[in-house]
């Protein structure tokens, strides 16, 4: 027996004893708090601020959901499991986060997407609490920019009764995106499995009637913030480019949902893509641009807080999370 193995065994024994002593009361506390042995301990509020020139951009976590290989029509379960293992995730469940981003500069308070809702999934709908923790009330938001109208991006716009959750916000969205989900003439083009989005989009359009601002081209939506067409995931899927001073940030919406898979191989589409070929072409173009220009990006499904860079990695790419900015 070597010294090393004795030490290791000793350490394991100590860890086991410590674990037995400390985790039992912890489990009991959890069970008491939530009725479950595995949930009930709150996290710190999930918001994180970054600066982009004169803008303060705050990532707000709405929650999370897991994806299995079933969402990737052209990827086998075995290949998915291998990719997950390589990225240190459970083999059948990628833990995706849902983020939204708050832009603040001068007297402007702008939200880019609003997360989902508790009705959609109990693990979603946490954005209002994180927004409050970041010091912003729904009534303070003057503008909401939408990347697209899937439920995990617009679910937070209306409450359970269908009323607007942001009483003073102008809702800015690509005209063709709004039309695709809300114009009955477009209904036959909507994939069967995405028909549920029509009801949610219609609720939103009604809730914000009179303060909806659709735009057609890649316009400047707010001083310093430009719309960028990133079609494919949905027909009007749009990113927002924030430029100030020497800094640029592209909020890219749903360019990728499962980073370890879709950045490694941008050709892998997700079942939620309305036009998969176009989504793949857009992803390739954006990843190439972000890597070449060393541009900071922020993604709604990149690991919270979702800020980072895109590095070339073999034939594909890898996401490099941005370091915490400890001075703002």
Residues contributing to the site for Zn ion (CB under 5 A): 152, 254
Shortest Å distance, C-beta 254 to Zn ion: 4
Considering the complex, state which of residue 176 and residue 301 has its C-beta at the smaller distance from Zn ion.
301
Q: Percentage helix, strand, coil, to 5, in the chain?
A: 35, 25, 40
Q: How far apart are CA 177 and CA 189, in angstroms?
A: 13
Considering the complex, state which of residue 104 and residue 180 has its C-beta at the smaller distance from Zn ion.
180
Shortest Å distance, C-beta 8 to Zn ion: 45
Shortest Å distance, C-beta 301 to Zn ion: 6
Q: Is 6 exposed, middle or buried (0-12, 13-18, 19+ CB in 10 A)?
A: exposed
Shortest Å distance, C-beta 105 to Zn ion: 26
Collect contacts of 313-316 with beta carbons under 8 A, ≥24 apart. Answer: 313/263, 313/264, 314/264, 315/265, 316/263, 316/264, 316/265, 316/266
Shortest Å distance, C-beta 111 to Zn ion: 15
Residue 75 is classified by DSSP as S
Considering the complex, state which of residue 96 and residue 227 has its C-beta at the smaller distance from Zn ion.
96
Considering the complex, state which of residue 170 and residue 254 has its C-beta at the smaller distance from Zn ion.
254
Q: What is the DSSP string of 145-177?
A: E-S---HHHHGGGB-TTS-BSSTT-EEEEEHHH
Shortest Å distance, C-beta 116 to Zn ion: 9
Considering the complex, state which of residue 170 and residue 273 has its C-beta at the smaller distance from Zn ion.
273
Considering the complex, state which of residue 155 and residue 308 has its C-beta at the smaller distance from Zn ion.
155
Number of neighbours of residue 281 by Cβ within 10 angstroms? 15
Q: How far apart are CA 274 and CA 235, in angstroms?
A: 7
Strands 170-174 vs 143-145: parallel, antiparallel or unpaired: parallel
Considering the complex, state which of residue 152 and residue 278 has its C-beta at the smaller distance from Zn ion.
152
Shortest Å distance, C-beta 113 to Zn ion: 8
Q: How far apart are CA 296 and CA 125, in angstroms?
A: 27
């Amino acid at each position: 027996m070597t010294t090393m193995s004795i030490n290791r065994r000793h350490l394991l024994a100590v860890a086991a004893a410590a674990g037995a002593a400390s985790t039992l009361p912890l489990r009991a506390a959890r069970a008491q708090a939530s009725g479950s042995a595995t949930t009930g301990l709150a996290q710190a509020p999930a918001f994180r601020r970054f600066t982009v020139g004169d803008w303060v951009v705050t990532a707000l976590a709405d929650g999370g959901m897991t994806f299995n290989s079933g969402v990737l029509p052209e990827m086998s379960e075995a290949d998915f499991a291998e990719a997950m293992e390589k990225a240190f995730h459970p083999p059948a469940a990628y833990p995706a986060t849902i983020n939204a981003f708050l832009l603040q500069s001068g007297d402007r308070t702008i939200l880019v997407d609003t997360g989902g809702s508790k009705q959609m999934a109990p693990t979603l709908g946490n954005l209002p609490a994180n927004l409050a923790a970041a010091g912003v009330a729904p009534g303070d938001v003057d503008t909401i920019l939408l990347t697209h109208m899937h439920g995990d991006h617009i679910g937070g716009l209306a409450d359970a009764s269908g009323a607007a959750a942001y009483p003073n916000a102008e809702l800015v969205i690509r005209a063709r995106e709004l039309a695709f989900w809300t114009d009955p003439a477009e209904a036959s083009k909507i994939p069967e499995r995405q028909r549920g989005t029509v009801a949610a989009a219609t609720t939103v359009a009604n809730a914000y009637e009179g303060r909806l601002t659709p735009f057609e081209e890649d316009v400047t939506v707010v001083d310093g913030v430009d719309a960028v067409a990133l079609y494919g995931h949905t027909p009007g899927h749009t990113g927002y480019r924030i430029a100030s001073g020497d800094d640029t940030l592209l909020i890219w919406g749903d360019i990728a949902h499962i980073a370890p898979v879709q950045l490694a191989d941008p050709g892998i589409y997700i079942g939620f893509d309305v036009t998969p070929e176009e989504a793949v072409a857009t992803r390739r173009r954006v990843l190439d641009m972000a890597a070449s220009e060393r541009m900071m990006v922020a993604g709604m499904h990149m690991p919270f807080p979702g800020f980072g860079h895109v590095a070339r990695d073999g034939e594909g790419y890898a996401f490099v999370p941005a370091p915490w900015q400890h001075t703002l």
